Amino acid sequence: MHFLAIDQSTSATKALLFDRNGVAVDRESREHQQHHPHPGWVEHDAEEIWKNTLEVLGKILGRHSRKKKEIVSLSITNQRETVVVFDRASGRPLVPAIVWQCRRGDPFCAAHRHSGAESMIRRKTGLRLDAYFSGSKLQWLVWDNLELPGKLADGSALIGTVDTYLIYRLTGGKVFATDFTNASRTLLFDIHALQWDDSLCALWDVPRRALPEVRESSDQFGETTLDGMLTWAVPIRGVMGDSQASLFAQRCFSPGSAKITFGTGSSVLLNIGSKARTMDNGILTALAWVHRGIPTYAFEGIIISSASTLTWLRDKLGMPDVPELEQLAMSVPDSGGVHLIPAFNGLGLPHWRPDVRGAITGLTHANDRRHLARAAFESIAFQVRDALDALRRAAGLSPGSLHADGGPTASSFLMQLTADLAATELRVSTMRDCSPLGAVLAAQLGLGLHGSMADLARMPHPETAYVPRATADQVAMLHHAWSRALRSLFVP
């Protein structure tokens, strides 16, 4: 018995093959191009993503032809707030996909803030009135494209996050659906009533008929032959936004358990149980999942630029790839007073300042690229510290261990640095691809292979623990310097 999974992230599309015990037997990945037509804008070509999806699935099937008959389902996990508008008849995208990092919706958010809509949005969605989420991206599309409003109104154009788009293409247009975790990231969804909200749809100029049906993550989302690569259809089951899927894979089923997924950006989620609590200090209230009609909520801290800081050094400054960059960072004992603040698209929790931009501070003639590399790694760890501190204060919890996953966890240097600067034990999953694993576990739950989440919790989940080594005085001094560098950005 084997399980296919698609992991469609900000930078790449992966296909993975899992066995019955949640072990990844094989994986294949294809990067897609990042488009920046204007400063602060970020787009993807959804057609390129679709082609890459088929390519990576084909590669996996080609290498495991004997296991094809053992595949029992296909699961999907995805970047969450990125939105696609596509044609009902063909499934092809009508406009570029607008990515969660894109800031073009800022003027619309400002207008709604001025009109007094912010508190209503916060109360219903648990989210901030911010262009990070899908609502303002959609409103921008409606206002920018003269033909689009009519197509959305008459049903010939459809709206979806990436999961919805892929499900529609994989089922040949038979299923137009999303799951609760993805729907809840759009600023169009009431996380208390668990449904699309008419007043929110009207606010963002989005016809409700253009939005997909919402299902539980473990439900079935139709069947697929993978665009003809299989001679029989397998069910699509286990659909979940990437950060929530990671929380699920890390078995953070009880209130107080927390995880961080390191990636292009990073998301810290802390389970708060079945009752939503809304905060006013930049902390998001996320719908973690819905199972058998019962929701689970989490506090969330968003770090907008995390590992993307390292690829920025490579792509824009001509510095080496991450493994060599890590060696540079490790070759000096500290950053030599240099701080790299990666506010390329603003800052997330606890600041939520979309208006600020990045900076490199503290440079002297004594510094070189080793210190800049070190400062880049430290910026990731410091942001985790700041987000985690805010979440724990809001939840009234004392410091405990933090589960971690994602590609950057392969760097033992970054993991130890994060444990030190965040002053917390970091429990790193030996399975780096926790998001697709979480989607597969949801599929197994829906297929009846596990009777409950308690059964899932008993499955083996190997981890490597990183315990803080730095002294409290050392960390306090370093964090004070980081905070001082941050404050310099906020001065008018």
pLDDT band at residue 302 using 50, 70 and 90 as cut-offs: confident
> Which phi and psi angles does 400 have, rounded to 5°?
-140, -165
User: pLDDT tens across 117-169, in order?
Assistant: 999 999 999 999 999 999 999 999 999 999 999 999 999 999 999 999 999 99
Give the mean pLDDT of 427-452.
93
Tell me the pLDDT tens digit for each residue of 454-484: 899 888 888 999 999 999 999 999 999 999 9
What is the model's pLDDT at position 282? 77
Q: Is residue 452 part of a domain?
A: no
Judge if 323 and 234 occupy the same domain. Answer: no
Local confidence band at 491 (pLDDT 50, 70, 90 cut-offs): low
What is the model's pLDDT at position 399?
59
pLDDT, tens digit, 9 for 90 and up, residues 242-261: 999 999 999 999 888 899 98
- Assess whether pLDDT exceeds 80 at residue 321: yes
Report the pLDDT value the prediction gives residue 394, as an integer from 0 to 100. Answer: 85
Q: pLDDT exceeding 70 applies to what percent of the chain?
A: 99
Instruction: State the total domains in the chain.
Output: 2
Q: Quote the DSSP letter at residue 22.
A: S
Specify the pLDDT at position 393. Answer: 85
Task: Please check whether residue 266 lies inside any domain of the structure.
Answer: yes
Confidence of residue 351 (pLDDT cuts 50, 70, 90): confident
* Whether 231 and 274 share a structural domain: no
453 lies in some domain: no
Residue 473's CB is within 10 A of a number of other CB atoms, namely 8
Q: Which helix (H) or strand (E) holds 72?
A: strand 71-78
- Tell me how far the alpha carbon of residue 310 is from its chain's centroid: 18
Q: Are residues 183 and 70 in the same domain?
A: yes
Residue 20 lies in a domain: yes
161 plus 212 within the same structural domain: yes
Say how far apart CA 488 and CA 116 lie, in whole Å.
30
**What confidence tier does 492 reach under pLDDT thresholds 50, 70, 90?**
low
Provide the pLDDT for residue 343. Answer: 93
Q: Which residues contact 413 (CB under 8 A, 6 or more apart)?
A: 326, 329, 330, 377
**pLDDT reported for residue 148:** 95
Assess whether 328 and 419 both reside in one domain: yes
Q: Over the stretch 400-419, which tens digit does the pLDDT of each residue have?
A: 789 999 889 999 999 999 99
67 pLDDT band, cuts 50/70/90, is: confident
- pTM equals 0.88
H runs (alpha helix) in 40-170: 46-63, 106-115, 118-125, 134-144, 148-154, 162-170
339 and 378 inside one domain: yes
Considering the domain architecture, whether residues 273 and 153 belong to the same structural domain is answered as no
Statement to judge: residues 258 and 237 lie in one domain: no
Same domain for 220 and 336, yes or no, is no
pLDDT at 279: 80
- Asked, for residue 439, whether it belongs to a domain, the answer is no
Looking at 118-256, which runs of residues are DSSP E strands?
A: 157-161, 177-179, 189-190, 195-196, 213-215, 220-224, 234-241
Q: Can you give the residue range of the structural domain that contains 116?
A: 2-242
Note whether residue 440 is domain-resident: no
CA distances from 22 to 140, 203, 453 (A): 41, 42, 14
Q: What is the CATH number of the domain that holds 271?
A: 3.30.420.40
pLDDT of residue 439: 97
pLDDT (0 to 100) of residue 433: 84
What pLDDT sits at residue 398?
Answer: 66
- Are both 233 and 364 inside the same structural domain? no
- Picking from 242, 258, 273, the residue at the C-terminal end of a domain is 242
Domain boundary among 242, 268, 286: 242
Does residue 276 lie within any of the structural domains? yes
Residue 473's contacts (CB-CB under 8 Å, 6 or more residues apart) are none
Note whether 35 and 120 are same-domain residues. yes
In a domain, 365, yes or no: yes
CB 42 within 8 A of CB 52: no
Clarify whether residues 136 and 264 are in a common domain.
Answer: no
Domain termination residue (choose one: 213, 242, 271) = 242
pLDDT at residue 12 greater than cutoff 90:
yes
